[in-house]
Structure 1
Amino acid sequence: MDLFNYHRRETSVVHVGSIDMGGENPIRVQSMTTTNTNDTQACIEQAERIIKAGGELVRLTTQGSREAENLKNINAGIRADGYNTPLVADIHFNPHVADVAALYAEKVRINPGNYVDPARKFIHQEYTDEEYAQELQKIEDRLVPFINICKENHTAVRIGVNHGSLSDRIRNRYGDTPEGIVESCMEFLRIFKKENFNDVVISIKSSNTVVMVRSVRLLVDTMNKEGMNYPLHLGVTEAGEGEDGRIKSAVGIGALLSDGIGDTVRVSLTEEPECEIPVARHLIDYIGQREGHLVIPATEAKDFDWLHPTRRETLANNNIGGENVPIVITSRTGKDIEVVSDSDIKADYIYVGSQLPKHPKSNETYIVDYNVYGMLEQENKLTADGKLKDVDCQLYPIFPVVAIPMLSMLQCKMKFLVLQFGTPAEEYLTCLKYHPEVVVVCATNHQNRLGDQRALVHEMMNAGVKNPVIFTEMYHHNQNEKSDFQLESAADLGALLIDGLTDGIWLMNDGNLSEQDITETAFGILQAARLRTSKTEYISCPGCGRTLYDLRDTIAKIREATKGMKGLKIGIMGCIVNGPGEMADADYGYVGAGPKRVSLYRKQVCIEKNIPEELAVEHLLALIKSDQK
């Protein structure tokens, strides 16, 4: 794995109907219908909206043989309208349905967590090695006939592992871990390889971006060791809706795409499925711009583990580094310097450059250019610890790399130094060792931002330097491009956050995005990477033909009623496929249980079953309030 130079992972080529995936083929974009698969016309119409938006594959939920049989009619209807886009059948719980679907769909997705293993009950059960081997034989006995049907009909297969639907067998032996997730996949892959069936794509998904990224990295490593190079389908499951869903998806998917991993992408948003397509396409195109960049001649830190990253050890400086959560810096300069937001979400530090606001706020902390700080110090306007005497607000200086010789001239408890990879190491490393009060601001203008910024921190790690690092990213977007700004910044930072290299982030933009939009994006990225919580989090699935209640209306009601409950995680699931499993990562769960019926969960424990839909939100709020008491 080259951490610093972008190139796509080499994979085998998989044939899916009219398109090929993997190898040197483009990264494919797909989505999934939310219509009832028995409603032929509704499925055709929605599938064609996905296709017109740029979708290259369309997936449909196929919960029974009747739905599987109707794929024939849906497929025929789309072909009659002049589209050759492959259809994918989504199967859970019933392997027989997979056999039927393989006759009519170009690709079938099966879930190792429930293909042969019974539906999980989160029970504890020990297996001897012999008993475990018997369970694996059951899988092989049932899987081989399905493989033969796929061979005969030239049907591709996706092995789709979901963190939320791991079987009890896997959880008991491997735990609820990336290792367990990967083994769940490998059990099936080994059978496909043994049967010499190669039209296989793999996905590993979780609503937790850290688990998702670490699991996919581990899968790639495990496949390499076993001589496999199957293509990968990327997605963050139950990402949610709106800005939160886009940022969360970009953190997870972007972290992997940036390392060259991924051959097809589905962004799971709780919105109309065609809305997912431009989000996925923008991520793919944006990361793809790194292709052919200038080589970054960096060396991986000897103690860094890409498969099991831990937070880099740093010296705490004020509230930055050490065990502190990553901080957020924002910029407020020029005509906007006097604009102050009334939002509850505020940056920890505000860069104001060469000019302080006319009316500095005592509850704000400012970063100023080092020469301004020096001037204030000379004019005796600062206290010994760097506070403005007349306002009692804190100031810290920031130095460009050319001002390294000036660092010792200012006597303050914390300083910021802007560095880029390529700065002569002997110059800046010696400086950092003698100045533990310096916080590094890692900037880049390289075509491959991730590789360049990783390179600087790895150089510091190899030298034993423990100064905290803030990553700064510059963009050029106007207000109507806010979504692009959010996707790009989340994708650029995703791997750096999951690698454990980040003590803070500083997003900059030279368009007309507001300071508040930029600040909220930064906090949203940290929350998506599970590093800092600033608001309520909603883990919501996009819905599909299995969803039997009004998912989007319900989400809107729950959001409105709980939006002030900072730190709370609420899962809103259309059905039981992943619902209870994802509750391990949520405080409360709202899960579809049948037509217009809902069950409520506290973590993975069902508290109340089969509540009428019109009463379920009220019951959820009562449960939350009761627990708070």
Structure 2
Amino acid sequence: MTSTSASKIYCPSLTEYKRRLSREVKIGDLPLGGLNPIRVQSMTTVDTMDTLGSVEQTLRMVEAGCEYVRITAPSVKEAQNLLEIKKELRKRGCSVPLIADIHFTPNAAELAARIVEKVRVNPGNYADKKKFDVIDYTDASYAAEVERIRERFRPLVQICKQYGTAMRIGTNHGSLSDRILSRYGDTPLGMVESALEFLRLCEEENYYDVVLSMKASNTQVMVQAYRLLVQKLDEEGLQPYPLHLGVTEAGEAEDGRIKSAVGIGTLLEDGLGDTVRVSLTEAPEAEAPVARALIDRYTTRAIEAKPIRPLGVESVTSKSNETNNQQPATNNQPPIDPFQYFRRHTREVQNLGGQNVPRVLVDISRLSSVEYADLRAVGHLYSAFLDKFQMNDLGADYVYSGQRPVPFMLPNGLKEVVDYSAWLDAGRRPDHYPVLTPAEYAVAGAKHPELNFVFQTLDSLTPAALDQLRQDATAVVILHTDNAHAMPEIRRAFFELLNNGITNPVIINRQYPELTAEQTQLYAATDVGGLLLDGLGDGVVLSTELLPERPKEQWLTTLDQLNQLSFGILQAARTRMSKTEYISCPSCGRTLFDLQETTAMIRKRTDHLKGVKIGIMGCIVNGPGEMADADYGYVGVGKGKIALYRGQEVIKKSVPEEQAVDQLIELMREDGKWLEPVVLEEPVGV
């Protein structure tokens, strides 16, 4: 079930950087929303009853850049201890606003609201329930359930209003109640309606200090839900409440950062978001710098951005693309459905476009020479002993060698792209595919009979270029930009293709000169991931070609990083699954085991299982629901006790922790999902 509204408008502009102007909400002495900066927050992992431990961790988080600190309050005793934590923090000169995190316990929320500056409630389990029951509601019985929940929620609203306490109504995709699931299904619309039921009561009580969030581990669902929420607020004439952005259970290390950037960055690009929490399975102090790096990219975006031709201004007469359920873009209405995933319809050219997964192209053109062993950087491992290549799960599909073609036969599964002039000079080799500039493409007489790549920008997509692409069944576009407002400009170019009925596959190209590795990681995940989430893009090529000359070993390290990053972005956007995915929560005071250590242990045993999704949850609150679409789950249910899940069904309820990983593997083996790890021969150069 999706939105039935005709409006697709969900942000101030699809082509200019304009931050959505939300209502200002007071949270202690640090207001949120309005004209205030985008705020950073995180959550403690220490037991809330450990007052000094909570205080010390909070101080470290503030030092790392947290502007709000959330602390779990699973029962009344923890809610009461928030007062002791707050007193000690104030004694030490720390005035950071505190947020109480509530699940299942309205009485704890009502107590916490008298103590801290903000409370977070989850409408999926605040006076509601989740037992995975399907209930056939009549309109009357559903309305009666809603009214029951409203009456249970009303006292908290009144207390918050009396004490000047702010509230976050935080919907989680994985913990939608049985009532919402039965009515709306497991959809972004269900997430939005879950929050709006609570929000409407707040407005009836003239209480407006509310922040909203729509979190999910699935980045497609997360982005669609936030967009739909903004559209629904406008449609119903509700206040423009601030948005708290986050991807739940993002994981750890590079994967967690990429996944967070894909979801959070996509929304920030369109001016959505007033506070950010990056959920990593790491110490909470590690989260704030990542959030800050995402936010800081937009500090001067409006100044640095070049103007982008607005929607509705097309280079030729617009044509609808009925095959892809798409209509011409006009007046900020995109030619795609921003609330539901549809992949752009494209013709198949070799293994690009059509039903093929997005492909990875790696730019090796800066290497002065290429040897067999160098291809390890793009996922193709050469063994001198066996005299053959082995491809790992992150093996690139294409390499771009520019003017210096690789001097040996490439392994099966890897194809080479060269500059057009080099292709002509080499005698138009059939195993090389040329890439042409717009000028070369316009006048080219000789072309490869099967596959030709063409560099294009939004400005180069003239009526003549569009007509040439339309008639060329061999052309694949490599779309790039040097605009600081990169993702929206490339998206605008896609809209030009869509509105003109152009179905050639498109590879997204982004260049990141002179950035740190983490900046490249976050920026690329935002720019490319944001397009993939909207079904735009049939491949990716990332490069740092504007960097000064460096030793070959440094270039190989960079190529390896860019290759892994490309696959990581495709996986985070749910468009190509190439490795095991870990949906692991970031830990909090409810956690029943060491999440970082356990995640590392499970990863060590299972990271060869391509495409398998494993949820690792510290407690039942972040249990079967929060794992959402995981294939298997590992959930803490007591000290030293683990429950194992297949999907959302518990299979083993109380497994000793020391046996749990072995039994998880045995469960996979029973399902035919387990594969013994293969040890690849160590590649040696020749």
Please indicate, yes or no, whether the TM-score normalized by the shorter chain is above 0.5.
Answer: yes
In structure 2, the residue matched to 1:368 is 418
Kept after mapping to 2: 8 A contact 1:109/1:159: yes
In structure 2, the residue matched to 1:400 is 437
Instruction: List aligned pairs for 1:104-183, cutoff 5 A.
Output: 104-118=115-129, 120-183=130-193
Task: Report whether the alignment pairs 1:418 with 2:462.
Answer: no
In structure 2, the residue matched to 1:390 is none
Kept after mapping to 2: 8 A contact 1:162/1:206: yes
- For 2:543 and 2:397, the matched residues in 1 are separated by 15
Task: Report whether the alignment pairs 1:215 with 2:225.
Answer: yes
User: By how many angstroms is 1:477 displaced?
Assistant: 4.3
Match of 1:260 among 268, 271, 287: 271
- For 1:31 and 1:557, the matched residues in 2 are separated by 25
Quickly say closer, same or farther: Cα 1:550–1:351, change in 2 above 3 A.
Answer: same
- For 2:411 and 2:656, the matched residues in 1 are separated by 51
In structure 2, the residue matched to 1:391 is none
Q: Which amino acid aligns with 1:328?
A: V
Kept after mapping to 2: 8 A contact 1:235/1:249: yes
Q: Which amino acid aligns with 2:647?
A: K
Moved beyond 3 Å, runs of 4+? 300-303, 510-513
In structure 2, the residue matched to 1:294 is 306
1:129-163 deviation line (CA, Å, top 9, x unaligned): 11111111112212221111111111000001111
- For 1:617 and 1:477, the matched residues in 2 are separated by 42
TM-score, normalised relative to structure 2: 0.87
User: By how many angstroms is 1:583 displaced?
Assistant: 3.7
- For 1:202 and 1:464, the matched residues in 2 are separated by 38
Q: Which amino acid aligns with 1:551?
A: L
Kept after mapping to 1: 8 A contact 2:192/2:229: yes
In structure 2, the residue matched to 1:505 is 540
Task: Report whether the alignment pairs 1:358 with 2:369.
Answer: no
Kept after mapping to 2: 8 A contact 1:162/1:578: no
Task: Report whether the alignment pairs 1:514 with 2:549.
Answer: no
Number of residue pairs matched?
A: 613
1:516-544 deviation line (CA, Å, top 9, x unaligned): 11001000000000000111110000111
Kept after mapping to 2: 8 A contact 1:320/1:327: yes
Identity of matched residues, %: 48
Task: Report whether the alignment pairs 1:428 with 2:465.
Answer: yes
Task: Report whether the alignment pairs 1:8 with 2:19.
Answer: yes
User: By how many angstroms is 1:289 displaced?
Assistant: 3.6
In structure 1, the residue matched to 2:345 is 313
Task: Report whether the alignment pairs 1:248 with 2:298.
Answer: no
Unmatched segments (≥5 aa) in structure 1: 388-394
Task: Report whether the alignment pairs 1:467 with 2:504.
Answer: yes
In structure 1, the residue matched to 2:214 is 204
In structure 2, the residue matched to 1:230 is 241
Unmatched segments (≥5 aa) in structure 2: 1-10, 313-327, 330-334, 382-390, 548-553, 674-686
In structure 1, the residue matched to 2:397 is 348
Kept after mapping to 2: 8 A contact 1:255/1:493: no
- For 1:623 and 1:410, the matched residues in 2 are separated by 53
Task: Report whether the alignment pairs 1:330 with 2:362.
Answer: yes
- For 2:70 and 2:59, the matched residues in 1 are separated by 12
Deviates more, 1:55-64 or 1:453-462: 453-462
- For 2:462 and 2:473, the matched residues in 1 are separated by 16
Kept after mapping to 1: 8 A contact 2:529/2:570: no
Match of 1:551 among 588, 595, 598: 595
Kept after mapping to 2: 8 A contact 1:22/1:231: yes
User: By how many angstroms is 1:298 displaced?
Assistant: 3.0
User: By how many angstroms is 1:624 displaced?
Assistant: 1.2
Q: Partner of 1:16: helix, strand, or coil? A: coil
User: By how many angstroms is 1:547 displaced?
Assistant: 0.6
Q: Partner of 1:284: helix, strand, or coil? A: helix
Kept after mapping to 1: 8 A contact 2:172/2:626: no
Task: Report whether the alignment pairs 1:602 with 2:614.
Answer: no
Q: Which amino acid aligns with 1:262?
A: G
Instruction: List aligned pairs for 1:426-575, cutoff 5 A.
Output: 426-477=463-514, 481-510=516-545, 511=547, 512=554, 513-575=557-619
Kept after mapping to 2: 8 A contact 1:289/1:447: no
Q: Which amino acid aligns with 1:437?
A: T
Kept after mapping to 1: 8 A contact 2:434/2:448: no
In structure 1, the residue matched to 2:48 is 37
TM-score, normalised relative to structure 1: 0.95
Q: Which amino acid aligns with 2:491?
A: R
Quickly say closer, same or farther: Cα 1:594–1:477, change in 2 above 3 A.
Answer: farther
- For 1:141 and 1:517, the matched residues in 2 are separated by 53
User: By how many angstroms is 1:227 displaced?
Assistant: 1.7
Kept after mapping to 2: 8 A contact 1:4/1:450: no
Kept after mapping to 2: 8 A contact 1:374/1:410: no
- For 2:252 and 2:442, the matched residues in 1 are separated by 49
Kept after mapping to 2: 8 A contact 1:547/1:574: yes
User: By how many angstroms is 1:287 displaced?
Assistant: 3.5
- For 1:542 and 1:477, the matched residues in 2 are separated by 31
Kept after mapping to 2: 8 A contact 1:298/1:459: no
Kept after mapping to 2: 8 A contact 1:583/1:602: no
- For 1:407 and 1:568, the matched residues in 2 are separated by 46
- For 1:205 and 1:405, the matched residues in 2 are separated by 46
Q: CA RMSD in A?
A: 1.4
